[in-house]
Amino acid sequence: MAKMHTPAMEKIEKRNAKRKKPVKSTPAYESWKRFKRNPTALLGLAVVCILILIAIFAPLIAPYGYQTQDYSAMMQAPSSAHFFGTDQFGRDIFSRVIYGARYSLIIALFCTIAAFFSGGLLGIIAGYCGGIVDTLIMRVMDIFQSIPMIMMAMCIVAVLGNGIPQLVAAIMFASMPTMARNNRAAILRVRGSDYIESSEAIGVNQVQMIIKHMIPNAVGVMIIYFVGFLAVSIMMMSSMSYIGVGLAAPTPEWGLILNDGKAYLTSAPYMMLFPAMMIMITCFAFNLMGDGLRDAFDPRLK
C-alpha cells in the first residue's frame, strides 16, 4: 500500500532533510569549535567584549566627566556617590577608570596594528626570501632587540615628546623586533610545506604565492601573536605613563591614574587599587584569549 503524503508530512520531511544535511567543515570552523569548548578562552573573550562595550559607552556609564573637579569632595573614600572614591582634585576615579578603558584599548590597538604591519611585514619578507635578505633583516632586529623594549620606547618618547602619536610610534618601534621574529617563524613553518614547493615548481608568481598561500595558512599563528601583544601594549603604555614618560595629564589613562595616586598609597590606597585591577584584568583576559586561540588553531601545542 502506497504511503499518503500530506502537505504537513512533506514539510516535516523537508525540515528533517535540512537537519541531516552535512555542515561544510573548514579549518576556521573547526578552530572556532575548539575555541568554544575552552571555558577559560570564552571567559577571556567575554571580559574583552565587556571592556569594549565599556569603552564604547563610557559617556553613558560614567556618572561624571573625567575632568570634572569637585573641591568639596577631594580624597573621599569609595561610597555610593563615588564608587571608586575621588582623587586629590576631587575627580571621580570610577569615571576616570571607565574613560580609561577607551583610551587604553584604542591606543593599545593602534600600537599593535602599527607593530604588526611594520615588524610583521619585515618578518614575512625575511621568512620568505631567506638567504642574505633574511640574515640582514634579522641582524638589524637583533640589534634593536638587545635594548629592552620599555627603555627603547622611553628613548623614542624623549626625542619625539609626549602625546598619543608619539606613544604609538615609540611602542611600535620597540615592538618591531618581536613582531618580526614571530611572523618570520610563522612563515618559515609554512615555507617548507609540500604545497608551497609544488607552487614554486609550476612557476606561481612569488607575490601571489605569499598573498594567496603563505599568509592565509600562517594567519592563525599571527592572530595569536596579535591578541597576545595587545596585553603587552597595554602594559607598556601603562608603565610609561606611570613613570611619567607616557601620556600627559589630565588624560584618563590607567597608568597615568596610577601615577596620580602613588603619592597617596598609604593614606588613600584605593586611588591605585582600581586602575591597577583594570590593567590586571584586561591583560589577563587577552592572555586567556591568546591561549585559547593557540589551542584552537594548533591543538598540538596544547
Q: Quick: pLDDT tens for 72-97.
A: 888 888 888 888 989 888 899 999 99
Mean pLDDT of 209-233: 81
Q: Tell me the domain boundaries of the chain.
A: 37-64+83-301
User: What contacts 23, CB < 8 A, 6 or more positions away?
Assistant: 29
Return the SS3 of 5. Answer: coil
Give the rounded distance of the alpha carbon of 57 from its chain centre: 20
Return the SS3 of 53. Answer: helix
Buried residues in 106-145 as b, exposed as e (16+ CB within 10 A):
ebbebbbbbbbebbbebbbbbbbeeeeebeebbeebeebb
Q: What is the pLDDT of residue 55?
A: 93
Which residue bears the cell 572556532? 32
- Region of 245 (left: φ > 0; alpha: ψ -120 to 50; beta: rest) is alpha
- In the structure grid, which three cell numbers stand for residue 274, read together? 582600581
Rounded Cα distance, 98 and 262, in Å: 19
* Residue 30: pLDDT over 80: no
* Residue 17: pLDDT over 60: no
Q: What would be the CATH architecture of the domain defined by 37-64+83-301?
A: Orthogonal Bundle (1.10)
- Percent of the chain at pLDDT > 70 equals 89
Please state the length of the chain. 302
DSSP secondary structure, 14-66, as one string:
HHHHHHHSPPPP-HHHHHHHHHHT-HHHHHHHHHHHHHHHHHHTHHHH-SS-T
pLDDT band of residue 1 (cuts 50, 70, 90) is very low
Rounded Cα distance, 275 and 256, in Å: 9
Mean pLDDT of 272-290: 93
Among 14, 219, 236, 209, which residue's Cα sits nearest to residue 129?
209
Q: In this structure, are residues 256 and 262 in contact, taking their beta carbons and an 8 Å threshold?
A: no
* Residue 48: pLDDT over 90: yes
pLDDT band of residue 243 (cuts 50, 70, 90) is confident
Mean pLDDT of 124-132: 86
Q: In this structure, are residues 150 and 89 in contact, taking their beta carbons and an 8 Å threshold?
A: no
Number of H helices and number of E strands within the chain? 13, 0
pLDDT band of residue 106 (cuts 50, 70, 90) is very high
User: What contacts 33, CB < 8 A, 6 or more positions away?
Assistant: none
Q: In this structure, are residues 95 and 66 in contact, taking their beta carbons and an 8 Å threshold?
A: yes
Mean pLDDT of 247-263: 87
Rounded Cα distance, 87 and 67, in Å: 11
Give the rounded distance of the alpha carbon of 163 from its chain centre: 21
Q: What is the pLDDT of residue 248?
A: 80
In tens, the pLDDT along 152-210 reads: 888 888 888 888 888 899 998 888 888 899 888 888 888 777 777 777 777 777 777 77
Alpha helices for 161-269 (secondary structure H): 164-191, 194-201, 206-209, 215-242, 254-261
Q: What is the pLDDT of residue 10?
A: 64
Rounded Cα distance, 183 and 215, in Å: 10
Q: In this structure, are residues 286 and 230 in contact, taking their beta carbons and an 8 Å threshold?
A: yes
* Residue 215: pLDDT over 70: yes
